[in-house]
Chains A and B, each alone.
Chain A
Amino acid sequence: MTRKPLSGKRPLESKPRAIIVGASSGIGAALTRELAHQGYLVAAVARREALLQELCDTINTAVGELVAFPFVHDVTDYEEVPALFQTITHQLGGLDLIAYVAGVQTAVSLDEYNFEKDRQMIEVNLLGAIAWLNQAAIRFAHAGYGHIVGVSSIAGDRGRVGAPVYNASKAGLNTYLEALRNRLSRQGVTVTTIKPGFVDTRLLANAPKTFWVITPEEAAAQIFQAIRRKRQTVYVPARWGLVGLVIRHIPSFIFRRLQI
């Protein structure tokens, strides 16, 4: 038996369609809300079912029609991704945008080398992104259009004493996204790397010192602007760009004496 898509398509009244991976809280939830209010149909993918369900119900009630659809999935379940990806595009009736927002940061002390913690960060922050965005890349390359957004972090700009593997996961994500951009831009696909500074989410609980903290809603609004303008790399908020610039250029002989 074939399935009907969740939302019919009328040629002149078609809504853009998006997948948000990591939608149950923080920036992902805020971005799901933002896109839904901006007229998108959104597939919200996340592990925590209750939160996801509540998010979609709230959005659908606020918008007054079905625009957010929950899909429960653990991003480390890589084998599930190709089938789920095709299920979602089928149910949405298309795909214009995918944003990978899932990310974890576990607290590690300065002398801690805990492989289990490290593996989890690499799995969620990097391997999950590769599993999902590879699917999107193949599809968008064949379709000749589409927009891939990876929410990375300013933490990926350098390796620091406090978060070696978190830094490495985000640096890996940055490089992967850059490579996707170089591969796909000639095929009409846009790839945007988002590098937030401190955003008031669960991840912040594990950050030692914070400043310039913005809400996930503010972050989501700025990410949406970056999507609309088809930007390549965007610091959120923009002033972190200056910090990034400085940090990237601190010479190693100084950087290794710092406690940041």
Chain B
Amino acid sequence: MIDSEMVVDKKDGKSSMLNGRFEVILPAERWERVPSWGGASFGVSHVYRPSTVEQLQAIFELARRSGRSVGLRGGGNSYGDAAMNDENILLDLRRMTRVLDWDPENGRISLEPGVTLQQLWQYVLEDGWWPPVVTGTMKTTIGGCAAMNVHGKNAWQVGPIGEHILEFDLLLPSGEIITCNREENRDVFFAAIGGFGVLGCFTRITLQLKRVYSGLLDVETCSLPHLDAMFDYFAENVPRSDYIVGWMDAFARGRSLGRGDVHRANYLPPGADPNPSQTLRLDNQHLPDTILGIVPKSIMWLFMRPFTNNLGTRFVNGGKYWAGRLTGVKRYRQPHAAFHFLLDYIPNWKKAYGPGGLIQYQPFVPRENAREAFREILRLCQRRGLPNYLTVLKRHRPDEFLMTHGLDGFSMAMDFRITPGNRERIVALVKELDEIVLAANGRFYFAKDSTLRPQIARAYLGEEAVAKFKALKQRCDPDNLLQTNLWRRIFEP
């Protein structure tokens, strides 16, 4: 308990400490360094790894007694500070991995929050089911996916993962567990999904899975010479695809601005796969261990390291684009896992970015404004000498979740390498980009965010949504026990 307040008067720079000290000391062996997934920042927290709901409740009680806040962390794949809680308690939920209920007839599954997407798809695939929404890595947990309301390459078709959650149990910091679905505690349902873990801790999530009739997808790839071609391709193919994702070479200028490759995929209809029982087997889903059959993928990042700079990436991106251009349109069948989990293809690829790590900036812009806004953004990054190294274009749709990033439009995810020398320039660049996105009525996404400022968040979410969320926060967690770095940065500066 803190027995008195630290009084800080910002006006005259005076500060005083009135005996406001912790009485409960947390054990030293709980100190752990916790990085953001992109590695551009890290903090130190008291990390606890509960395996049961009772342990979870005990830790909330400890937090209350000791005056610390509690942050929730799943797979730790949020690029920025969404799953960090510096100098406070951090609950790593990856030991809560039980499948609580599974109905292979209807594809309904109830999971503890620490179950990863990898565990999930490997558990259900042989029964002919697949998670309706998956992230680019399978290391994310279902609790984290729900808290960030993640989307996949099919976001415009099926929305974010929240749309497929039928029900969840939420442990409130008081110790009480409430059940939320579209009828019961409806407001909490639509706020806790996408509520970045500050309303409560999911202890059971029930998900409706997607029926698949093959372990393979029909995939088509092709290269497109510029941004207009990219958007035209999306417009043409969105109605007839299950998945589309575009990759852009952010170094290309002038007429080639926004050139890149697209991958689109469709589920196989019943009967199209002559041997589904084979293709649905796990053995046929594994990502290969080597590249070109020779180079072990585990050391691949070492070979990427020399190219992860402006010159090298310009070269690699150009090569990738022209290779695609020369081979033309390709069509093939690919296992689900190989198509979806591109981020797992090369283990530790982010190490190629060097010790400064990376951040991702992912604006979402309405359909009618996206083309011009993204063109402006790509140009501005080039003008500032800060081209991003990986650029991914996706299509989205609006949804009902309170803090959503979803809208009828496009998102462009951009990876920026961070070095000691470019931090300030990146911060300045992002401020300029924020203005472009806001002017285009755009939105942002907390799972990717490292830079959002409070006024920008309020501007795109709207004062009403923020007030509503804060009211729910007050109701679910009156003592503000659940916090993260992101929560303090954006909502309690």
What is the interface of chain A, defined by CB distance below 8 A to chain B? 1-6, 8-14, 53, 56-57, 60-61, 65-66, 68-72, 80, 82-84, 86-87, 89-95, 135, 138-139, 142-145
Is there contact, CB below 8 Å, between B15 and A60?
A: yes
**Alpha-carbon gap, A13 to B41, bound state (A):** 10
Question: What's the least CB distance linking A85 to chain B, in Å?
Answer: 9
Is there contact, CB below 8 Å, between A143 and B2?
A: no
Is there contact, CB below 8 Å, between A139 and B450?
A: no
Is there contact, CB below 8 Å, between B43 and A91?
A: no
**Alpha-carbon gap, A9 to B29, bound state (A):** 24
What is the interface of chain B, defined by CB distance below 8 A to chain A? 2, 6, 8, 10, 12-17, 20-26, 28-29, 31-33, 36, 40-41, 43-44, 63, 67-69, 80-81, 86-88, 359, 418, 423, 426-427, 450-451, 479-481, 483, 485, 488-489, 492-493
**Alpha-carbon gap, A206 to B68, bound state (A):** 45
**Alpha-carbon gap, A209 to B423, bound state (A):** 50
Is there contact, CB below 8 Å, between B17 and A145?
A: no
Other A-B pairs, 8, CB within 8 Å; known A2-B483, A70-B17, A94-B43: A8-B493, A9-B489, A10-B451, A65-B13, A66-B10, A83-B23, A139-B31, A142-B33
Is there contact, CB below 8 Å, between A142 and B485?
A: no
Is there contact, CB below 8 Å, between A53 and B16?
A: yes
Is there contact, CB below 8 Å, between A144 and B25?
A: no
Interface-central residue, B12, B31, B81, by most chain A CB under 10 Å:
B31
Question: What's the least CB distance linking B180 to chain A, in Å?
Answer: 24
Q: Specify which of B24, B32, B87, B427 is in contact with A13 (CB 8 Å cutoff).
A: B427
Is there contact, CB below 8 Å, between A138 and B489?
A: no
Is there contact, CB below 8 Å, between B33 and A145?
A: yes
Is there contact, CB below 8 Å, between B67 and A1?
A: yes
Considering the complex, give the chain A residue whose CB is closest to the CB of B480: A2
Q: Specify which of B24, B28, B80, B492 is in contact with A4 (CB 8 Å cutoff).
A: B492
Is there contact, CB below 8 Å, between A143 and B33?
A: yes
Considering the complex, give the chain A residue whose CB is closest to the CB of B9: A66
What are 21 inter-chain pairs, A to B, with CB distance below 8 A?
A: A1-B2, A1-B479, A6-B6, A9-B41, A9-B86, A9-B488, A11-B359, A12-B41, A12-B451, A56-B15, A65-B13, A66-B15, A72-B17, A83-B21, A83-B24, A86-B26, A89-B87, A90-B22, A90-B87, A138-B31, A142-B44
Interface-central residue, A65, A90, A135, by most chain B CB under 10 Å:
A90
Question: What's the least CB distance linking A17 to chain B, in Å?
Answer: 10
Question: What's the least CB distance linking A32 to chain B, in Å?
Answer: 13
Is there contact, CB below 8 Å, between A2 and B44?
A: no
Q: Which residues of A contact B86 (CB under 8 A)?
A: 5, 9, 93-94
- Known contacts being A11-B451, A60-B13, is A4 close to B488, with CB within 8 Å? yes
**Alpha-carbon gap, A234 to B380, bound state (A):** 47
Q: Which residues of B contact A142 (CB under 8 A)?
A: 28-29, 31-33, 44
Interface-central residue, A14, A65, A144, by most chain B CB under 10 Å:
A14
Q: Which residues of B contact A11 (CB under 8 A)?
A: 36, 40-41, 80-81, 359, 450-451, 485
Q: Which residues of A contact B359 (CB under 8 A)?
A: 11-12
Q: Which residues of B contact A86 (CB under 8 A)?
A: 22, 25-26
**Alpha-carbon gap, A152 to B29, bound state (A):** 29
- Known contacts being A66-B13, A86-B25, is A3 close to B418, with CB within 8 Å? no
Q: Which residues of B contact A57 (CB under 8 A)?
A: 12-15
**Alpha-carbon gap, A5 to B84, bound state (A):** 14
**Alpha-carbon gap, A91 to B481, bound state (A):** 16
Q: Which residues of A contact B23 (CB under 8 A)?
A: 83
Question: What's the least CB distance linking A123 to chain B, in Å?
Answer: 21
Q: Which residues of A contact B14 (CB under 8 A)?
A: 53, 57, 60
Q: Which residues of B contact A94 (CB under 8 A)?
A: 43-44, 86-87
**Alpha-carbon gap, A87 to B14, bound state (A):** 19
Question: What's the least CB distance linking B367 to chain A, in Å?
Answer: 31
Question: What's the least CB distance linking A51 to chain B, in Å?
Answer: 14
**Alpha-carbon gap, A254 to B287, bound state (A):** 75
**Alpha-carbon gap, A144 to B34, bound state (A):** 11
Considering the complex, give the chain A residue whose CB is closest to the CB of B13: A60
Question: What's the least CB distance linking A45 to chain B, in Å?
Answer: 10
Interface-central residue, A3, A69, A70, A84, by most chain B CB under 10 Å:
A3
**Alpha-carbon gap, A4 to B2, bound state (A):** 11
Q: Specify which of B25, B36, B40, B451 is in contact with A83 (CB 8 Å cutoff).
A: B25
Q: Which residues of A contact B29 (CB under 8 A)?
A: 142
Is there contact, CB below 8 Å, between A87 and B28?
A: no
**Alpha-carbon gap, A57 to B12, bound state (A):** 8
Considering the complex, give the chain A residue whose CB is closest to the CB of B173: A2
Is there contact, CB below 8 Å, between A3 and B44?
A: no
Shortest beta-carbon contacts, A-B, top 4: A60-B13, A142-B31, A11-B41, A138-B28
Q: Which residues of B contact A56 (CB under 8 A)?
A: 15
Question: What's the least CB distance linking A1 to chain B, in Å?
Answer: 6
Q: Which residues of B contact A95 (CB under 8 A)?
A: 44
- Known contacts being A4-B488, A8-B489, A11-B451, is A143 close to B8, with CB within 8 Å? no
Considering the complex, give the chain A residue whose CB is closest to the CB of B46: A86
Is there contact, CB below 8 Å, between B68 and A139?
A: no
**Alpha-carbon gap, A88 to B479, bound state (A):** 21
Is there contact, CB below 8 Å, between B80 and A66?
A: no
Question: What's the least CB distance linking A68 to chain B, in Å?
Answer: 8
Considering the complex, give the chain B residue whose CB is closest to the CB of A62: B13
Is there contact, CB below 8 Å, between B31 and A69?
A: no
Q: Which residues of B contact A72 (CB under 8 A)?
A: 17
Question: What's the least CB distance linking B8 to chain A, in Å?
Answer: 6
Question: What's the least CB distance linking B143 to chain A, in Å?
Answer: 22
Is there contact, CB below 8 Å, between A87 and B418?
A: no
Is there contact, CB below 8 Å, between B15 and A69?
A: yes
Q: Which residues of A contact B8 (CB under 8 A)?
A: 6, 66
Question: What's the least CB distance linking B145 to chain A, in Å?
Answer: 22
**Alpha-carbon gap, A60 to B14, bound state (A):** 8
**Alpha-carbon gap, A225 to B62, bound state (A):** 42
Considering the complex, give the chain A residue whose CB is closest to the CB of B32: A142
**Alpha-carbon gap, A87 to B66, bound state (A):** 11
Q: Which residues of B contact A80 (CB under 8 A)?
A: 21
Q: Which residues of B contact A61 (CB under 8 A)?
A: 12-13
Is there contact, CB below 8 Å, between A2 and B481?
A: yes
Question: What's the least CB distance linking B164 to chain A, in Å?
Answer: 31
Q: Which residues of B contact A60 (CB under 8 A)?
A: 13-15
Is there contact, CB below 8 Å, between B450 and A69?
A: no
**Alpha-carbon gap, A87 to B15, bound state (A):** 16
Q: Which residues of A contact B450 (CB under 8 A)?
A: 11-12
**Alpha-carbon gap, A95 to B276, bound state (A):** 56
**Alpha-carbon gap, A5 to B484, bound state (A):** 12
Considering the complex, give the chain A residue whose CB is closest to the CB of B27: A138
